[in-house]
Amino acid sequence: MILDLNSNHESAQERIEYARHMIASEVAWVIMADDGLRSAATELVRQGAYAYCRRPPSIRDLRLILRGAHENALLKLQPDKEQERTAARGHDQMVGTSPSIQQVHSLIDCVTNIQASVLVTGESGTGKELVARAIHSRGSRADCPFIAVACGAIPETLIESELFGHEKGAYTGTVVSREGYFEQSRDGTLFLDEIGELSPLTQVKLLRVLQQREFSRLGSNRLIPLRSRLIFATHRNLAELVAKGKFRQDLYYRINVMKIEIPSLRERSEDIAPIATHFLHHYASIFRKTIREIDPDAMAVLQNFSWPGNVRELENVIQRAIILALGNTLRVPDLPLNLREEARDSFQDELAGASFEQQIRDYTLHLATAAIRENNGNKTRAAQSLNISRAYLHRLIRLANSGSYFETDNVELEEAV
């Protein structure tokens, strides 16, 4: 960044103030100022600018200063390799502490530096690409390219060209040669997602590549060594596809050397809270919202939902809720209607087996608990929101001591006294 300061220009002082706020960024600043603003330029250098030169500058001197500033900026942008790997590992790590997700982490650590093929399975939205990126970033190939390919999104007529590349004139319309994904990934990792969508012909060609560890572009006989590591993923049951004759058995055994199965979100409900909180902080920052927490009632709704779309659906719900939320807390009304309706139906089903009196009492306690939560423990405001007296609210709290269907709510009512 070259900052031109002219003492005769009316915006000079504004530029100086702007520079004072931005000087600590990763950009290298060079201050160019006339004699009237020399002291201001010197002060900016003291605060972090790279250098100062007189205005108008000597082109030769300015060239030397800019070259030095550029080299200095590049050094700052190249972190220690170990720090870079640690940061990459933290970014790629799946959120959660459940036993099933810890097992996934253990398997990832086992295969990071082993060149065997890995098959990642799981329902849509569970984070299969995240697992592939974790395998890549934790191993010796972390500094090399990682290329993800959605096989089901590429038309069958183009899949071979996309994977293997083509030479000029290989077919109508190819006016230049092009590297395929196998070449682009080089010594890095090639992640082939939705491998079950490949056509039988492409399966045959992929099998040959895996067997021979070499391939050729369309329109060429030159063999190119396969240098990248391959990770495969699918949400379909490949064993069933093999039994139905829709997936080659020999290819299945080639890609299924090491299998990592990701559990669905409903199978690890204890991870919903940390995942939701992670997305809350991430997207609140992106959307520039002041939301810092999820209301306990809203979290209960999230934890009781079945999540057919898994983590991807949870991420979508949190994004939408952040956009709609008005205060610093994400609350039940901010959540989609289908989540709230499922939570209400579940609540009603749980009450169905109790007597009429028990249902009335438990539902009353549930309303009282929700009111106390929404008013951050202030019982006076909670009673006002329910249009009841504070004394009656205290009687409900004492009633909780006798035991009720909502044991968790009772504990919170007791703690509110």
pLDDT at 133 exceeding the cut of 80: yes
Q: In angstroms, how far is the first alpha carbon of the chain from the final one?
A: 60
The per-residue pLDDT for range 77-94, each reduced to its tens digit, is 554 444 444 444 444 457
User: Where is average pLDDT lowest: 22-26, 108-112, 323-327, 413-417?
Assistant: 413-417
Q: Over range 1-14, report the average pLDDT.
A: 80
Helix (H, G, I), strand (E, B) or coil at 248: coil
CATH code: domain 85-261 is 3.40.50.300
Residue spans per domain, the chain = 2-76, 85-261, 267-345, 353-416
The pTM score is 0.62
Q: Over range 257-274, report the average pLDDT.
A: 92
Domain 267-345 -> CATH class: mainly alpha
The per-residue pLDDT for range 146-204, each reduced to its tens digit, is 999 999 888 888 888 899 998 888 777 777 888 899 999 989 999 999 999 999 999 99
pLDDT of residue 97: 82
Residue 179 φ/ψ, nearest 5 degrees? -75, 140
User: Which residue did the predictor score with more confidence, 399 or 394?
Assistant: 394
d(CA 398, CA 417): 9
**How high does pLDDT run on average in the chain?**
81
Helix (H, G, I), strand (E, B) or coil at 231: strand
∠ CA 223-153-114 to the nearest 5 degrees? 50
Residue found by looking up tokens 């009603």 in the block: 348
The per-residue pLDDT for range 277-303, each reduced to its tens digit, is 999 998 998 888 888 899 888 888 898
pLDDT of residue 26: 65
pLDDT at 350 exceeding the cut of 70: no
